[in-house]
Structure 1
Amino acid sequence: MSRTRLTKTEKVKRHLERGGKITSMQAFKKFNATRLSAIIFELRNRHKMDIKTQEKVSRLDNGKYAEYYLA
């Protein structure tokens, strides 16, 4: 019996398809994915997913970060 492991891209895709939102920090914590923007680029272009970006501001240091979700 063979078990296939999901790639990080597939894990992020499944998360978004289930209605989730994701940030770089969440992607790292949940999937050990360090290049979320590259994964989002691939999902948008190769998988033709309509992923939206919402800019957020950190409460800790007023830094900006992106939160991604399916439209």
Structure 2
Amino acid sequence: MMEKITQSEQIKKHLESGGTITALSALQIFGCMRLAARISELRKKDHLPIASRTVTNGDKRFSEYYLQHNLKTV
């Protein structure tokens, strides 16, 4: 039986590969409805230096998360 990969692990791999993620893309790609909670878990548990920026698209504003590789501590 295969082990199921958690949403947090999937998001971590996505960010580590250089990707960015928004709430909408997290829902579409991973079925994740609580991206902010998963980001918080990764920051606390894995000590990942995840940063965010606000993106504006017309009258819509949303957060986009990305990994700051140069700040990652071991």
With normalisation by structure 2, the TM-score equals 0.87
Cα distance in 2 for partners of 1:19, 1:5 equals 23
Cα distance in 2 for partners of 1:40, 1:34 equals 12
Cα distance in 2 for partners of 1:63, 1:52 equals 20
Which digits, 9 at most, give the CA deviation of each residue in 1:9-44, with x for residues without a partner? 110001001110000000000000000000000111
5+ long unaligned stretches in structure 1: none
Count matched residues.
68
5+ long unaligned stretches in structure 2: 69-74
Q: Which amino acid aligns with 1:26?
A: S
Q: Equivalent pairs: percent with the same residue? A: 35
Q: CA RMSD in A?
A: 0.8
1:67 is matched with 64
Q: Secondary structure at the match of 1:57?
A: strand
The 4+ residue runs of structure 1 with deviation greater than 2 A are: none
Q: Is 1:48 aligned to 2:44, yes or no?
A: no
How far residue 58 of structure 1 moved from its aligned partner, in angstroms, is 2.0
